[in-house]
Structure 1
Amino acid sequence: MTLHNRVSADELKRRLAAETFKRITISFYQYARIDDPKAFRDQLYTALDQLQVFGRIYVAHEGINAQVSVPEHHIEAFRSYLYSIPFLDGIRLNVAVEDHGKSFWVLRIKVREKIVADGITDPAFDMVRKGKYLDAKAFNELAADPDTIIVDMRNHYEYEVGHFERAIEVPSDTFREQLPMAVDMLKDQKDKNIVMYCTGGIRCEKASAYLLHNGFNNVYHLEGGIIEYTNKAREQGLPNKFKGKNFVFDERLGERISNDIISHCHQCGQPCDTHTNCKNDGCHLLFIQCEACAAQYEGCCSEACQSVLHLPAAEREKLRKGIDKGQMIFNKSKQRLRPRLNE
């Protein structure tokens, strides 16, 4: 059996569009010792491919991190399969808050060094000792204390479109950068209650362990992250303390948690929280763009990229060759990218 996709992206997207059943977007993770990640990866691919599961899954010696799209009629079989794996038995499945069913169109499972890149090299660091879980109700209660420090362990572009009330941003492009920054920012607050959160729980769980490893005493993390918090707050009729949109790493690029729009179009400055990638494939910058600017610039981040869009395909391909786009994410505070968004 083939353990990798061999069908073109265009064909896979065509098949997805033709599906007549509903899909559910689900995320889950688990820190656990996996002795042979490659063998586990192949076993996982075989089982999930048979269930028509799409998504992105990372497997490493330290565990699994998954964001998937599951046919609704296969949900129970999917859950039963996961629960048949000892370290995933009873695993919490985070169901997307806002879902159009088209979050993924192919199944990709990769073996990595870490399920979330953290840059930690200290051999004494151990995920066994981590912060205390907070459910939605406990989070609201602790967050109501003005002395509680709430820390957002997501990247700057995630924080920009949505975050919890009073949450501190650790302004960075990567989780790897954030960990030492968070320790430094909070070094004089080691005895205070510190609550960490992220999208689905995987980053804030590791961050809580890292703070404890660095001498902090009262560290908590939000169980299931923003996704689980939102679902439970709605189920239990709790006040929603998250404002704006929750950025997600799939085709949706975001799910609305509240009606608040707290960010602005990177081109004209009007209130907006819609992320998009520049339509110039030689750029593909991730940025926020309103409908008016999307129409004016044809989905591009600048007039320069818009002009490239109208070149013949062969010329566009020549321009793309040799370009190292790196991590193309608009970050106004760092001014790392060349001037492009009409600034």
Structure 2
Amino acid sequence: MLIVAALYHFTPFPDPRALQGPLARIACGHGVRGTLLLAPEGINGTIAGTRDGIDAVLAHIRALPGCAGLAWKESTAETMPFGRMKVRLKREIVTMGQPDVDPTAAVGRYVAPADWNALISAPDVAVIDTRNDYEVQIGTFAGAVDPGTRSFRDFPAWWRANAERFQGKRIAMFCTGGIRCEKSTNFLLGEGVADVFHLQGGILKYLEDVPEEDSLWQGECFVFDKRVSLGHGLRQGPHVLCHACRRPLTPEDRSRPEYEDGVSCHRCLGEYSDADRARFRERQRQADRGECFSQPDQAAHQAEDRNMMLAFKSS
């Protein structure tokens, strides 16, 4: 059984590039896989490995400047949910595109999972799901507002277009692990909203802590790894990804006539050209033969590996 650790921490990193090589080296040296993002505002990511490997990476991160208070959430996986280890440099560890948003200055009031049901059941509370539309489709809290956003960048515009709907309401927000709410609640405070709350630890902590019989969660929670979805008790759900559009699919979705393994599903059938579909079929044929990547994908991964090795040497 492998440990999966989801983490984020907002803290100033004046030179994220200087942290990249040593972090990648400690992770790869302990057989840990996943993705970690480094930006001037901090670190974010999900990794998987043995208990010793995860502990080694977490100890390294906690020793970084400003990261002694790092918190993370753990679940388990029977097989490795990531193909490789990536440590990437980004402008933001979760992209909102709002330069004035600063979670280290102020955020909404944290609400523990045990207290969340009472809050969102109050008649003067509006509950907003800050995740993307494909995540909301497979599960959300009863009565939550779905902004229908394709990416987190769309959230500020959605709020400004809909803010009048929530006049006089207290706002309760949630996301997968909590990181998007750090920014979205700071954003709402900046927009003049007085009473803003968010679910501490996100959906994953709620599903871990709250018994299923007491839960207001409906469906599954999308996660960004090969497990695809998790349910109550952080048990792996039934979903797989469409390898054309990367949307989560149920077993029933895969029985529909529009579904072709690696090529299409009912949600993306009209989104790609015939040339795209031909390329997807060739990629799937390669996968069926045990080849990991198409040639363009392989070249991209080789280039990324070269860049990682340069980062190792420069560190």
Q: Which residue of 2 aligns with 1:256?
A: 231
1:36 partnered with 2:12? no
- Counterpart CA distance in 2 for 1:58 and 1:180 is 25
Cα separation, 2, equivalents of 1:188 and 1:289: 33
**Alignment TM-score, normalising by the size of structure 2:** 0.77
Question: Does structure 2 retain, via aligned residues, the 8 Å contact 1:161–1:273?
Answer: no
Picking from 126, 140, 144, the partner of 1:167 is 144
The runs of 5 or more residues in structure 2 that have no matched partner are 287-293, 297-315
Which letter does structure 1 place at the counterpart of 2:218? Answer: K
Q: Secondary structure at the match of 1:49?
A: helix
Say what the alpha-carbon RMSD is for the aligned residues. Answer: 3.2
Q: Which amino acid aligns with 1:250?
A: D
Runs of 5+ unmatched residues, structure 1: 1-21, 260-271, 315-319, 323-343
Shift of 1:308: 7.1
What is the CA distance between 1:72 and its match in structure 2?
2.2
Structure 1 residues 308 and 69, CA gap change in structure 2 (3 angstroms): closer
Q: How many residues align?
A: 275
Does the Cα contact within 8 Å between 1:191 and 1:216 map onto a contact in 2?
no
- TM-score of the superposed pair, with normalisation by structure 1: 0.71
Between 1:172-181 and 1:293-302, the stretch displaced more is 293-302
Q: How many Å separate the matches in 1 of 2:279 and 2:10?
A: 47
Q: 1:109 is matched by which residue type in structure 2?
A: V
CA deviation map 1:201-232 (0-9, x unaligned): 00011100000001100001111110112212
Alpha-carbon distance between aligned partners in 2 of 1:58 and 1:75, rounded to the nearest angstrom: 16
> What is the CA distance between 1:160 and its match in structure 2?
0.6
Structure having greater relative contact order (Cα 8 Å, sep ≥ 6):
2
C-alpha contact (below 8 Å) 1:95/1:227 kept by paired residues: no
Contact 2:13–2:41 (CA<8 Å) still a contact in 1? yes
**CA spacing shift, 1:56–1:188, aligned 2, 3 Å:** same
Structure 1 counterpart of 2:264: 301
Following superposition, the deviation at residue 119 of structure 1 comes to 1.8
Indicate conservation of the 8 Å contact 1:153/1:196, yes or no.
yes
- Aligned partner of 2:247 in structure 1 is 286
Q: Which amino acid aligns with 2:153?
A: R
| Inter-partner Cα distance in structure 2 for 1:312 and 1:27 | 30
Letter in 1 for 2:214: P
Q: Report deviation, 1:179.
A: 2.3
Corresponding residue SS for 1:81: helix
Q: Residues 203 and 311 (structure 1 numbering): CA distance in 2 closer, same or farther, change over 3 Å? A: closer
Show the counterpart of 1:245: 220
Give the structure with the larger helix fraction.
2
Alignment check: 8 A CA contact 2:3 2:51 kept = yes
Q: Counterparts of 1:258 and 1:23 in 2: how far apart (Å)?
A: 16
The aligned residue for residue 177 of structure 1 is 154
Match of 2:39 among 46, 49, 60: 60
Query: Do the aligned residues in 2 keep the contact of 1:198 with 1:225 (CA within 8 Å)?
Result: yes
